[in-house]
Structures are given as C-alpha cells and as structure tokens.
Chain A
Amino acid sequence: MTTIFYLLAYFAFAAFFALACCKIRGYLAASPLHVRWEIYPVPHEGKKAAYGGSFMENSDWWTKVRHVEHFYDILGIFKEVLLLEATFKHNHTLWFRTYPFHFGLYMLMGGSIILFFTVLAGLLGASPLWNPQEMEGFVTFIHNVLNSVVLIGALAIFGGGIALICRRMNDEGLAVYSSREHFLNIGVFVLFAFLTLMTWACNADYVILAATFMHNLLTLNFVPQESNLFALSMLLGFFVLLWIPLSNMQHLLLKYFMYHDIRWNDVPTQASVTNQNLIPDLLKKQVTWAAPHIAGDGTPKSWLDVAVNVPNKTEK
C-alpha cells in the first residue's frame, strides 16, 4: 500500500508534466503562424501603452526601427497573474472571492517549490528540514515561514473557495454557466485545503511531515506516512495535479500564450523573415471547406488556389 502511495505521487508529477507539455505542444502545433489578432493596449509599446497606442501610429512605420519593450510585457503578465488585475477592474465582486483563492494557491505552490529545494539542499549537505533535531540556522527560519505559508494559504483557499461556490450558486448570471465541473474543481480545492488545515491543526509540525515525505520521495525511501490526514490530503493533491491540465484550470499553463502569442503578438511580417518564409508554406495547405465558393466542387485545392482563383465571375 505504501509503495502504491509513493508510486501514485511519482505518477501524478510525471503525468502533470507530460500533460502540460502536451497542452503546450498542442497549442504550438495548432498553427505555425496565425493571423495577427492583437488587441490594444499592448504593454511592450512602452509609453504608447498608457493610452493603447501602437507602432502603426508612426508614419512610414516600416522604415523605422521597432522598439519592443519586453520588460513591460513581463510586468503586465506578472500584474495579471499575481494581482488578477483584469478581474479587479471588470468584476470587483468576484475578485474579492477569487483573489484569496488564487492567493492561497500561489502560497501553497510557492511553499512546495521552497520545500523541494530546501530538502534537496539538505540532501546535498545543508541542514535537514525533515529532521527537527538537526535543523538549524536559515533552514529553521524557512521551516517557520513554511508553516505560516501553509496555514495562511490553506485558509485563503478554503475561504475563497467557499465564497466562490456560494457566488456561483446565488448569482443568477453565474449560475447559468456553472456546470458540475466548476463545483467539482473548486470543491476539490476546498476539500484539499480543509484536509491541509486539519493536518496542520492535528499534528505537531506540518512542515516536518511534508519535508519527510519529500525526502522519502527523493531518496526512494517508501515508508508509511505518520499522519493519515496528511496522506489523505496528499492523495487529493495528486488528483488535483492530474486534473489541472485536463480541465479549464489549464489556463494556468496557457495564459502566457494567450497573452504573449495572441493578444500582444503584433509582429508585422515586414519585421520577421521567419514569418515571411512561413506564409507561402501555409498557403500550400489543402482546403476542404465544402461551400461552393471554396472547395465545393470537390477538386483538391490549396489556400493559394482559393485566393487566386475567384469563382465569382460566374457565380450569382
């Protein structure tokens, strides 16, 4: 049983990364070059972004050097991810519920990453986070911080999650669009947060439990968990990990592309030799749209054939 538990953990991590890669690869494979579909303001326009301006405001813009201030793109996405800026601006009521929820998730994710690296450092000779007797110095500090992070994070997820469920049930507009999956997604997180809180409250030291588990995972030391509650919360955690890329929570992985590659991708073809070379290849793709004005006659056609042969001369 214990071995299965550990195998499940490896599987969940491996599956998460595999599914995440599939999603991202799927996105990138969907089209080597989609049409420009930018929407302003675009942050990398720098000063112009303040009012939503673009390089196309300059006369003969194609003769000028493009100034793309990537720093503002990074700043923009950070503000969006960390503060949920758009929700704050456009959906205040929801922000007060969804922000604690997301904030809690960030805390637990951040905490897990710190935990992983601290345990790794311990394995490489630093003070061991999983051993309270030998723990010292900065690692003790991290240990104390992590215990607070887990408590605050789990509380935020729990409170935010309950508030989100209530809002979805009681708001007439949201109720129409809230499917079982929404409640499942949020419900799983609320349950996870609840189990984490219970584990935190019912055990001497949550971080020691977590660090011991991480240590065992990294050293292939398959020993049973000290706390059943912790084991249960971890099982739920493995499910969540798997579930994220399969549900609409995949926005965690794709938001970057939706902002950088779609909303803010304003690269004119004139400025990209790669894109210049891609267009002719894309136009060779075969079209099978069945309407009479495209490929309705059944003859194989490329997009180029479609564009240059206008059947309309004879069409009504």
Chain B
Amino acid sequence: MNKHLQIRDISTVEGQLTTVQENDLPQQRLDLKFMPWKPYTEEQKQSFACLLDEVNVLNIPVPKSKAEEEDLVNRFLTGMRKLFTTENNFTCLPMLQTSMDNCVQCNSCSSACHLFEMSGENEMYRPNYRSEIFRRIYKQYIKKEPFAKWRYGDLGLNWKTVARLGELAYRCNLCRRCAQTCPIGVDNGLIAREIRKVFSQELGISPKELHEKGTVLQSRAGSSTGMTSQVVKDNVEFIDEDYSEITGIEVHTPFDVKGADILLLHNAGEIIAWPENVAAFSVIFQEAGLSWTLSSKCAGYDGVNYGVFYDDAQLARIALMHMQAAKELGVKKIVIGECGHAHKALTVIADRVIPYELQTPRESCYVTLRDIVMSGRLKLNPARNDFPVTLHDPCNIVRLMGIVSPQREILRKIAPKFREMPCHGVDNYCCGGGSGFAIMSRNNIEEWRGNITGRKKMWQIGEAFKDCLGPETKKYICAPCSNCKGQIRELLAHNDLYEKNSFAYGGLVELIVNCMDNVNPGFIKWGEDE
C-alpha cells in the first residue's frame, strides 16, 4: 500500500488506499503502545466500502451494480451543487467558496496538523489532500471551468472516489489548527465539515454515533445518552446524595427554577461517566451563593450538539431546543458546562442561526468560575492542590472562541505547581477525540485514536511533566471538556499511564473543589485511591 499518494490515486487505486503502521509513528517521551489494527472481515469488505485505510467510520454500502455506482456518484454531485447555493448553504457558502478558489497549494498548513505529523507524514493526512480532491471535483464537474482537466489534472470520478472522500472527511478532528496557519485564509477543516454535510444532508450517510444515537436520539429522548428527563433528575439526586457524603457538604442541585439567574447546561455524559464533575459544579455554585438551575426540559439538560460536526439542520434543531429551555425558565444567561463543542455550537454558531428574540445570552463556565474564584466567595486552600497540574485547551473554546485566560487565572490561583504544555492556548493541539470521535470506538476508530489522533496530545502531556515523570509523583491533567476527557481517559488506560506515571485527569471544577477548605480533603482520586 502506498504512503506517497497522488491526488488521482483516490479514483484509480484498487482496494485499500493506504496504511499507517507502527514503524511510521514518531517516538516520544511517554511509552505509547501501538494498537494493532483489526483486519477487515470478508463480510465487512463485501458489504461496506473499506477502501481508504484500516478505519471505517461511515460504513458506506458497496454498490451492487453499475447503476448503483452511478447513482452514488450522481447523488453526491447533486449534493455538491446544493452546497454551492445560498438557499441550501447560506451558513457557510462564503467560507467554502473562498476556500475552493484561493488555495495556492503552498503546504504551509501541513505541519500544523497533528494527524499529518503523527501518522509519519502520510499524504492522506495532509490537510490539503482531501481539500484538493474536493476542489478538483468542484472545478471539473460542478463549476466546469474551461480547460479544468488540463489546468489541474484529470480527476476521474467514480464511486470509489466518492466513498473514499466521504471517509477522508472523517480523518480530521475539525480542530482548524491548519486554518490558523494558512497565509491566505483557506480552511481545510471547514472543507472536511462541508463534505460531511453533503453526505449527511443529501445522501443520508453519517456516523450512527453522531446521528441516530446522537442528534436524533437527543431530539427524541432529550439526551444523546438516552436519558429522559426523569432519569436525569433521579441520577442527579443520587449524585447529590453521594457527594454530600464525600464532600461533607449538603449538596442540592436545583431543577427548573423559574427566574433563576443561570441555566447551567452540562454535557449529560458527565452525569453518567464523571458524576464528580456534576457534583463539583453544584458544590461551587451552591457555596458561591449563585441563583442557578438545571433544566429538565427535553434537551435542556444535555448541552451536547453533535450537529456541529456534520449537519447544519441537526445543529439548528438542537440549538433551538437549548434556547427554548432557557427561555421557558426565563433565566438571565446560559452557563455552558465543561464541554467544548457545546460552547462553540451554542455561543458562536447558533448566534447567527437562531432568531435573536429566541436567544438567551451564553457564557462559558470558565468565565463564571473565574469570577467565583477571584471574588473570594469560596474559601480556598491551594496547598491541597500541591501536585503538578497541566492544562489541556479544548480547540472549540480556545482557538475558536478566544477563551484563553480565565481558566489560567483560576489555575494560577489554586494550583501552585501549574505548568503549561508546549503549544498551549490558541496554538494547542486537539486531544484526538475532536469532531465526534471521542464517542466512537468501532471499526478500528479506537485504535486510530490511540495510534494517531491522540499521539500529539500525549507528546504535549509528556513534555509538560518531563521533570516528574514516573509513578512517584502524582500529576493532574486538567481537561475541562467532556469529550477531551473521554479521549484522554482511554489514552491513559490503554498505555497503563495511570500506574506508570501516576496520572489523574479531570476538569477544572474538581480541582477547585479539591482545594475548598470546607470540603473533605481528597476530592480528586488517583488510581490507587479509587
């Protein structure tokens, strides 16, 4: 299999296009284990287009006849045409159009991409590879530019091109680090998302974790976890009970308080996977004396909006439900919990999609927490956080919203041994779970996250703690984003880094509660304490 791909290979190569193997991966300070790819079964190969690499996100069915092959291509082209109309794509057309017309193919964006670097510079991961394929299809088949074949090279278009391009759109974390470096202003992250939109919005093809089990389930049941309103209330009640005992503070999480100042919007995944995060928020807000509430209205208790990763219609629907929940309660603002994509979806993207009169102002929890910590309303004892701490910056909150300082102000106040990772703030790298992958594990996606997408984050963590690696010193990776935490949890577990390096990971609120004087000591747990 070829690692030095040409553009036309996307259409011409038979079988699997490329691969990344253990010896391609750059070595680093932390001992990371290669996760062998599970080979495709014969049944998989016959049923689904397994044509790009070892990973299969979309499970595009293999066409059974020439007519089905042509149908796939034609429907894809129809979708592409719609993508370039104001009616169907007023949300993103200017960005897309300029990204199609202005790339000078300088490759300045290549080194910005953690996937390109950590795959051993496999051409498939060069940010411009998928963009250029899409661009050539656009110029040759949609715009039909004069002499396009001569000018750019003839890109034969067949069902394999379409299937591979669909998969390629899911070999990107949508972190937009590449876009930040482009001298022209071209956005390869945007192009990947636009391709995802064609597949979802026209062909009805999208990862089931994002669509059926994601936005569809959330619209129906209220949460992509499947939890209904009553289940959430019951679970939070249990959390309150448990953590009243653990913290020594009577915790009460309010629901549906009309006229409260704040609607706190958690990622509902926290309730199931990280109850300590939910409890920590409740402790802090309660002890700071805020007027706040959670909502039990459908989707009002789950800030997740996976539409932001693949589909504008689903994005708008979920954002509208969030806004309606806030309006119904009449709160002054929505404070978004520790979830990066929820921040961006509701604060930035929904801002020009949801009519203004239906909107309620949104604030990042980092900002609210900074104000609480700095106000002196909590009695804090930083000595309780006397272990090395480093901070992961979620792309959606930092590079894409410019919220950089509040979380650092908090850490400088409560964590005496706080140290930055290399490439932090707006220069950060994605955790590797970005754009929905953190919740996917089938078809070698988990292996892919371990081998390639999460590797740069592990490099950053290793570098941040290089003076205290090993099991002797307890260390805390502060990752104030639900999906990032999920990704980091798996990277640590798979590589035995809890034991080998005494790592713990968690959010910002846990670190605050850990040093609250009136809370029982030891809120944060390391492996052996749990």
Contacts and interface: CB of A to CB of B under 8 A. Distances in A.
Given A29-B86, A35-B352, A53-B402, A255 B204 contact: no
Contact of A35 (B91, B176, B363): B91
Interface string B331-364: 0010000000000000111011111100101011
Nearest to A23: B101
A40 B401 CA distance: 7
B425 to A, nearest CB: 6
B185 interface: yes
A85 B82 CA distance: 36
Given A38-B348, A254-B98, A287-B88, A45 B152 contact: no
Interface of A: 26-27, 29-42, 45, 48, 51-62, 80, 84-87, 89-91, 94, 98, 172-174, 176-182, 184, 248, 250-251, 254-255, 257-259, 261-263, 266, 268-270, 275-276, 279-280, 282-283, 285-294, 296, 303, 306-308, 310, 312-313, 315-316
A286 B98 contact: no
Given A34-B90, A289-B201, A289-B202, A306 B401 contact: no
A184 B150 CA distance: 11
Contact of B112 (A90, A258, A269, A276): A90
A275 B348 CA distance: 14
Given A40-B401, A52-B426, A53-B402, A87 B363 contact: no
Contacts of A293: 204, 211, 216, 313-314
Interface string B288-309: 0000000000000000000000
B480 to A, nearest CB: 14
A55 B183 CA distance: 25
A285 B90 CA distance: 9
Given A32-B90, A315-B216, 20 more contacts: A31-B93, A34-B94, A35-B348, A37-B95, A38-B400, A52-B402, A54-B403, A57-B367, A62-B361, A89-B181, A174-B106, A176-B123, A179-B105, A254-B102, A258-B102, A258-B185, A262-B95, A285-B90, A289-B82, A290-B202
Interface stretch (B2-10, B228-236, B268-276): B2-10
Contact of A53 (B215, B359, B405): B405
Interface of B: 4-7, 75, 78-79, 82, 86-95, 97-98, 101-112, 123, 126, 128, 132, 150-153, 176, 179-187, 190, 200-204, 211-212, 215-216, 219-220, 313-314, 316-317, 320, 333, 347-349, 351-356, 359, 361, 363-364, 367-368, 370-371, 398-406, 425-426
Contact of A31 (B91, B106, B203, B426): B91
Given A37-B190, A41-B426, A181-B152, A27 B185 contact: no
Contacts of A289: 79, 82, 88, 201-202, 313
B403 A56 contact: yes
A173 B126 contact: yes
Nearest to A81: B183
B401 A54 contact: yes
A296 B94 contact: no
A60 B101 contact: no
B352 A263 contact: no
A286 to B, nearest CB: 5
- With most chain B CB atoms within 10 A of its CB, the pick from A261, A275, A276, A291 is A291
A189 to B, nearest CB: 13
A287 B87 contact: yes
A94 B123 contact: no
Instruction: Give the most central of A282, A308, A310: most B CB within 10 Å.
Output: A310
Given A90-B109, A307-B313, A36 B352 contact: yes
B486 to A, nearest CB: 24
Nearest to B216: A312
A240 to B, nearest CB: 16
B94 A30 contact: yes
A31 B95 CA distance: 10
Contact of A262 (B98, B123, B367): B98
Contact of B105 (A27, A34, A84, A182): A182
B352 A179 contact: no
Given A30-B86, A86-B108, A59 B404 contact: no
Interface centre among A55, A270, A275, A293 (most CB of B within 10 A): A293
Given A37-B187, A289-B82, A251 B181 contact: no
A296 B403 CA distance: 39
Given A35-B92, A94-B106, A285-B87, A60 B363 contact: yes
Q: Give the one of A58, A80, A268, A275 with max B CB within 10 A.
A: A268
